[in-house]
């Protein structure tokens, strides 16, 4: 046996590691020790903070007990006999041990209970975050605290509500978009199949109908592209702006519809006060064009279409007003939502896609303004403001 041990020792001594191998072996040993220590301690934040509190309590009690023990022993030794002092030290040591253990256990339980209550909102946030990550709509986290944690929970609940709303709007957008695309494609496909099979013969009216459906698809794609451009611009920190005269901007937009207004027999009154504005001229022109086009498309009744621009204290307000088809009260708050239309059954007749006002609202908001509607049910005034930066 001794011979075997000596051979093993001799072989171990003969092994020589270079510095690189030694350092790798040391790192491996340190990592192994770290992993074992991490496995021994709980990963929960509740248990970590509880153990930390217990450790601090233990240190405080140990220091206090040592101070009491030392002071008491010194006083007894100076005033009593050696035998009495020895017996006193033994009794006091036992009492302090019992007191310390009871105090540490009691403090640990109290810390655990209080920490469980303090960390409950964090556990609720973790639960809701996991549900949100899995694609579900988590229930709101209850607010049972004050201060920073209350603010965090309120912001998280608002974030969950916003994400849920965006998800619903995305589903609605996909549904409306598929419907808008499917209808003209189905019409074109049906006519083409009928022409192919000889069911119908080509005529100018048929070709005009097919051309209108294709124009509708092109118009839809163009409006979606413009909407995407302004969606992307919302996340940019700057917007290309130039100084333009508000009077010229309003007059030029109104002149684009001069012949359309004459063809429909609609009078148009334009009055815009001059004022220099720092805006994206193309974007504001598009807003005006959308509003004027809607005023013409949905014109009903008597009276002119009025386009006005007026200076305010800190903004410039532009209004496009005129008589039009009735707008139900329940639809007025949804007018600026994408693909929303009043009286959806009439959309084929009027030709609206429900994107013009949504695009206009994006552009005005990007300029720091607001687009809104004032109406009595028959006469409608679409207004938007642009902050002044003279």
- Domain of residue 217, CATH code: 1.10.287.130
Is 47 part of a structural domain of the chain? yes
Is 145 part of a structural domain of the chain? no
Residue 253 sits in the same domain as residue 383: yes
The rounded percent of the chain whose pLDDT value lies above 90 is 10
220: closest CA among 334, 336, 359, 362?
Answer: 359
* Domain CATH for 305: 3.30.565.10
Q: Which two tokens stand for residue 310?
A: 């007026």
**Dihedral angle of Cα 296, 298, 302, 305, to the nearest 10 degrees:** -40
Last residue of a domain, one of 238, 260, 276: 238
Q: What is the pLDDT of residue 317?
A: 93
Is 149 part of a structural domain of the chain? no
Residue 383 sits in the same domain as residue 252: yes
Residue 306 sits in the same domain as residue 349: yes
162: closest CA among 121, 132, 127?
Answer: 132
Residue 252 sits in the same domain as residue 119: no
Residue 260 sits in the same domain as residue 373: yes
Is 292 part of a structural domain of the chain? yes
Residue 261 sits in the same domain as residue 162: no
**Dihedral angle of Cα 23, 26, 27, 30, to the nearest 10 degrees:** -160
Please name every residue paired with 143 in a beta bridge, in sequence order, or none if there are none.
none
Residue 281 sits in the same domain as residue 329: yes
Q: Domains in the chain: how many in total?
A: 3
Is 257 part of a structural domain of the chain? yes
Q: What is the pLDDT of residue 310?
A: 93
Residue 273 sits in the same domain as residue 313: yes
Residue 228 sits in the same domain as residue 286: no
Residue 220 sits in the same domain as residue 336: no
Q: Is pTM, for the whole model, over 0.75?
A: no
Task: Work out the burial of residue 85: count CB atoms within 10 Å of its CB; fewer than 13 is exposed, 13-18 middle, 19 or more buried.
Answer: middle
Is 353 part of a structural domain of the chain? yes
140: closest CA among 114, 162, 167?
Answer: 162
Could you tell me the residue range of the domain that residue 96 belongs to? 20-133
Is 4 part of a structural domain of the chain? no
Residue 57's alpha-carbon distances to 49, 50, 64, 78, 93, in angstroms, are 12, 10, 11, 32, 19
Q: What is the pLDDT of residue 173?
A: 67
Is 3 part of a structural domain of the chain? no
Neighbours of 380 (CB within 10 A): 23
Residue 72 sits in the same domain as residue 174: no
Contact 280, 241 (CB under 8 A): yes
Last residue of a domain, one of 216, 238, 260: 238
Q: Which two tokens stand for residue 267?
A: 């009078």
Residue 185 sits in the same domain as residue 218: yes
Phi, psi of 207 (to 5 degrees): -65, -35
Q: What is the pLDDT along the chain (390 residues), one digit of tens a residue?
A: 556 556 655 654 555 545 544 455 556 555 555 555 455 445 566 677 778 888 888 888 888 888 888 888 888 878 877 788 788 888 888 888 888 888 888 888 888 788 777 778 888 888 888 888 887 778 888 777 777 778 888 888 888 888 887 777 677 767 666 766 776 787 788 878 888 888 877 788 878 878 877 877 787 777 677 666 666 555 454 466 788 899 999 999 898 888 888 888 999 999 999 998 888 888 888 889 889 988 998 888 888 999 999 998 889 999 999 998 888 777 777 777 766 666 544 444 454 556 778 778 888 888 888 898 888 878 899 999 988 864
Last residue of a domain, one of 238, 256, 279: 238
Q: What is the pLDDT of residue 305?
A: 93
């Amino acid at each position: 046996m001794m011979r075997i041990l000596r051979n093993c020792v001799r072989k171990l001594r003969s092994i020589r590691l270079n510095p690189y191998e030694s350092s790798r072996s040391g790192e491996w040993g340190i990592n192994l020790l770290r992993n074992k220590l991490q496995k021994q301690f709980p990963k929960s934040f509740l248990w970590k903070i509880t153990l930390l509190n217990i450790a601090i309590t233990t240190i405080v009690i140990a220091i206090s007990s040592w101070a009491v023990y030392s002071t008491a022993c010194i006083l007894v030794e100076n005033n009593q006999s050696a035998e009495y002092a020895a017996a006193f030290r033994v009794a006091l040591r036992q009492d302090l041990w019992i007191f310390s253990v009871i105090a540490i256990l009691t403090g640990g339980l109290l810390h655990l209970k209080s920490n469980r209550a303090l960390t409950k909102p964090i556990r609720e946030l973790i639960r809701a975050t996991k549900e949100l990550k899995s694609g579900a709509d988590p229930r709101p986290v209850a607010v049972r605290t004050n201060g920073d944690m209350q603010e965090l929970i309120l912001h998280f609940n608002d974030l969950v509500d916003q994400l849920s709303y965006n998800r619903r709007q995305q589903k609605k957008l996909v549904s409306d978009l598929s419907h808008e695309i499917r209808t003209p494609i189905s019409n074109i496909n049906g006519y083409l199949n009928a022409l192919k099979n000889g069911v119908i013969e080509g005529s100018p009216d048929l070709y005009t109908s097919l051309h209108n459906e294709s124009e509708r698809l092109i118009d839809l794609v163009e409006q979606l592209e413009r909407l995407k451009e302004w969606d992307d611009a919302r996340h940019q920190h700057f917007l290309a702006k130039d100084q333009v005269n508000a009077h010229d901007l309003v007059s030029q937009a109104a002149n684009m519809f001069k012949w359309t207004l004459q063809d429909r027999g609609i009078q148009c009154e334009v009055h815009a006060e001059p004022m220099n504005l720092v805006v994206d001229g193309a974007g504001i022109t598009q807003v005006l064009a959308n509003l004027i086009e809607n005023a013409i498309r949905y014109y009903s009744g008597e009276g002119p279409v009025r386009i006005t621009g007026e200076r305010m204290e800190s903004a410039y307000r532009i209004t496009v007003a005129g008589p039009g088809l009735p707008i139900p009260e329940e639809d007025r708050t949804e007018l600026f939502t994408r693909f929303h239309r009043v009286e959806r059954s009439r959309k084929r007749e009027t030709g609206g896609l429900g994107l013009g006002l949504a695009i206009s609202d994006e552009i005005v908001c990007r300029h720091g303004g607001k687009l809104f509607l004032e109406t009595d049910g028959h006469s409608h005034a679409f207004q938007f403001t642009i902050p002044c930066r003279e």
